[in-house]
């Protein structure tokens, strides 16, 4: 692939995959600013690679999630989480009534907490499957056997529901006491 | 909200995940490419600088008398000195017709004694101080042979019948040194005090006659 062809392929890849990659990392980390940095950095690395990988989606998400995991391990990341900004801007449910808005915010918080608590591989499986990744792409991205993807995915879904509901119960308890 | 299964159905899960999404930050592909090129350029510049330094160092080290060469020599001397026991013989000439290479070199302890056992009928000893790690004593300009015996504190030169001249290079850092000819001290250094029973050359070296008359 010559330089012009690569440049064109890169631009096409960016146009089709940037938003998706950002979304996956944002859901994975729950930090939009960091997710933006990681998505950008991933494309910078792709450009400097000089060739397109055989499986672009798997390559992108693998590189991005590696960075996300590194970031999570670092102390600075933990500090940033503690200082998390208060109200966040969200895409969905733009014009809700006040009650609904409270419920919606509560639900978002539950989803986010459940995702954070979920083991990293389960979280990645859920999020990537949601983006339409095939079993093969999931196997490539997460370095697991393709034949195990179905089982692992089912377990991840079960685990997510369990964690979500346990968080929900934790939320209700203080109200019952009151 | 939930079904009776063990997990949320796909639509429900999609809705839950979509609810936590943030807007995608706007980013131009051109900005990404620029950033990638800057980083790539920086890496190339670093590699080029490293290569340039390496080439310059090699080039400098090959020029006689250059700072780089001197530094390299000192470094090599220090390395070999640290590897060599204080009394190890580094070089020793054999063969009567190989006068120029005849000599001895060794890494000294705190004190060095060089003893010429006999007065010679001719010949001189040039002593100089240099930034080296080893004591180097070599025989120059004669076919007469002398034998060198390495001792714990220096060398005994059996120069019976020799008419040779010698060159002695002592490390500048050496604290105590003494050169004797037939038992008479012709040069001594104790700390900063240096005495030499010979002629001080302009170069800072000292030339001592090993033949008769060295005690003048």
What distance lies between CA B140 and its chain's CA centroid? 24
- Low-confidence winner among A105-119, B14-28, B79-93, B169-183 (lowest mean pLDDT): B79-93
pLDDT at residue B214 tops 90: no
Question: How many contacts (CB atoms, under 8 Å) link A and B?
Answer: 94
Q: Read off the pLDDT of residues B29-54 as tens digits, 9 standing for 90 and up.
A: 999 999 999 888 777 788 888 888 88
Residues B154 and B113: beta-carbon distance below 8 Å: yes
Q: How far is B51 from chain A (nearest CA, A)?
A: 21
Q: What is the ipTM of this complex?
A: 0.78
pLDDT grade for B4, boundaries at 50, 70 and 90: low
pLDDT of residue B142: 55
The answer to whether residues B114 and B166 touch, using CB atoms and an 8 Å cutoff, is no
Q: Which of B22, B128, B131 is nearest to B73 (CA)?
A: B131
Contact B99, B164 (CB under 8 A): yes
Angle between helices A32-49 and B29-62 (to 10 degrees): 60
Given a contact cutoff of 8 angstroms between Cβ atoms, the answer to whether B103 and B136 are in contact is yes
Greater model confidence, A49 or B163: A49
- From B7, B17, B20, residue closest to A157, measured CB to CB: B7
Structure tokens at B46: 């670093």
Other residues' Cβ atoms within 10 Å of the Cβ of residue B31: 13
Confidence of residue B216 (pLDDT cuts 50, 70, 90): very low
Closest CA in chain A for residue B32: A44
Does position B84 have pLDDT exceeding 70, yes or no?
no
Q: Which range in A70-74, A151-155, B109-113, B119-123 is most confidently predicted, on average pLDDT?
A: A151-155
- Let me know: does A47 contact A40? Beta carbons within 8 Å: no
Residues of A in contact with B24 (CB under 8 A): 18-19, 22-23
d(CA A19, CA A9) in angstroms, rounded, equals 17
Nearest CA to B108 out of B173, B38, B26 is that of B173
Please name the residue of chain B whose CA is at the shortest distance from the CA of residue A156. Answer: B7
Report the C-alpha gap between B77 and B102 in whole angstroms.
Answer: 20
Q: Would the pLDDT of A177 be above 60?
A: no
Chain A contact for B14, CB < 8 A?
yes
- Higher per-residue pLDDT: A43 or B3: A43
Q: Does pLDDT of A48 surpass 50?
A: yes
B/e letters for B138-154, b = 16+ CB within 10 Å, e = fewer, are bbeebebbbebebeebb
Q: Residue A40: which of B2, B8, B27 has the nearest Cβ?
A: B27
Reported as a single tens digit per residue, the pLDDT across B139-160 is 886 565 788 888 888 888 888 8
The more confidently predicted of residues A33 and B202 is A33
Q: Return the domain boundaries, chain A.
A: 1-84, 94-178
Q: Is A162 exposed, middle or buried (0-12, 13-18, 19+ CB in 10 A)?
A: middle
Q: What is the mean pLDDT of chain B?
A: 79
**Nearest alpha-carbon partner for A67 in A28, A112, A17:** A28
**What's the pLDDT at A114?**
92
Verify whether the Cβ–Cβ distance B6 to A158 is below 8 Å: yes
Region B81-88: what's the mean pLDDT? Answer: 48
H/E segment holding residue B179? strand B176-181
Structure tokens at A14: 């960016």
Chain A residues closer than 8 Å to B4 by CB = none
- Say yes or no for a CB contact (<8 Å) between B20 and A30: yes
Question: Taking 80 as the threshold, does the pLDDT of residue B91 lie above it?
Answer: no
Which pair of structure tokens corresponds to residue A82? 């503690």
Please tell me if the domain spanning A1-84 has the same topology as the one spanning A94-178.
Answer: no
The verdict on B7 touching A (C-beta cutoff 8 Å) is yes
CATH 1.10.10.10 fits A94-178, yes or no: yes
The first and second tokens of residue B194, run together, are 């240096």
Q: What is the DSSP letter of A92?
A: S
Q: Backbone phi, then psi, for B67, in 5-degree steps?
A: -60, -40
Q: Which of B17-21, B43-47, B83-87, B126-130 has the lowest mean pLDDT?
A: B83-87
Are B20 and A32 in contact (CB < 8 Å)?
no
* Element housing B207 (H / E): strand B206-209
Least confident of A94-103, A167-176, B62-71: A94-103
pLDDT for position B100: 39
Considering the four listed CATH numbers 1.10.1740, 3.40.50, 1.10.3470, 1.20.1070, the one that applies to the domain covering A1-84 is: 1.10.1740
Is the CB of A158 less than 8 angstroms away from the CB of B20? no
Q: Indicate the length of chain A as a whole number.
A: 178
pLDDT-wise least confident of A48-52, B29-33, B89-93:
B89-93
A155 to chain B, any CB pair closer than 8 A? The answer is no
Position A76 scores a pLDDT of 58
Q: Band the pLDDT of B117: cuts 50, 70, 90.
A: confident
Three-state SS for B124? strand
């Amino acid at each position: 692939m010559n330089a012009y062809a690569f440049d064109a392929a890169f631009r096409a890849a960016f146009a089709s995959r940037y938003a998706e990659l950002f979304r996956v990392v944002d859901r994975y980390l729950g930090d939009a600013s960091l997710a933006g940095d990681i998505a950008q950095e991933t494309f910078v690395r792709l450009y400097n690679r000089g060739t397109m990988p055989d499986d672009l989606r798997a390559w992108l998400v693998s590189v991005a999630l590696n960075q996300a995991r590194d970031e999570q391990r670092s102390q600075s990341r933990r500090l940033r989480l503690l200082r998390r900004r208060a109200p966040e801007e969200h895409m969905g449910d733009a014009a809700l009534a006040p009650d609904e808005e409270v419920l919606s915010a509560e639900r978002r918080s539950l989803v986010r907490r459940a995702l954070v608590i979920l083991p990293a591989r389960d979280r990645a499986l859920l999020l990537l499957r949601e983006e339409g990744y095939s079993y093969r792409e999931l196997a490539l991205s997460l370095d697991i056997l393709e034949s195990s993807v179905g089982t692992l995915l089912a377990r991840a879904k079960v685990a997510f529901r369990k964690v979500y509901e346990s968080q929900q119960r934790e939320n209700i308890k203080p109200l019952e006491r009151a | 909200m939930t079904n009776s299964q063990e997990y949320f159905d796909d639509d429900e899960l999609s809705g839950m995940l979509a609810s936590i999404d943030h807007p995608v930050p706007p980013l131009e592909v051109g900005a990404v490419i620029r950033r990638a090129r800057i980083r790539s350029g920086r890496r190339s510049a670093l590699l080029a600088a490293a290569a340039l330094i390496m080439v310059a160092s090699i080039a400098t080290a090959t020029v006689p008398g250059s700072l780089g060469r001197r530094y390299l020599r000192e470094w090599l001397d220090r390395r070999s000195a640290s590897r060599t026991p204080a009394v190890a013989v580094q070089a020793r000439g054999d063969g009567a017709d190989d006068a120029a290479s005849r000599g001895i070199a060794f890494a000294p302890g705190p004190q060095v004694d060089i003893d010429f056992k006999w007065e010679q009928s001719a010949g001189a000893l040039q002593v100089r101080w240099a930034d080296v790690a080893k004591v180097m004593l070599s025989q120059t300009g004669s076919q007469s042979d002398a034998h060198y015996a390495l001792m714990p504190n220096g060398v005994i030169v059996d120069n019976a019948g020799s008419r040779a001249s010698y060159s002695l290079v002592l490390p500048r850092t050496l604290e105590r040194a003494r050169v004797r000819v037939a038992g008479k001290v012709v040069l001594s250094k104790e700390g900063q005090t240096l005495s030499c029973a010979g002629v001080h050359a302009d170069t800072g070296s000292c030339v001592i006659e090993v033949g008769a008359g060295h005690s003048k």
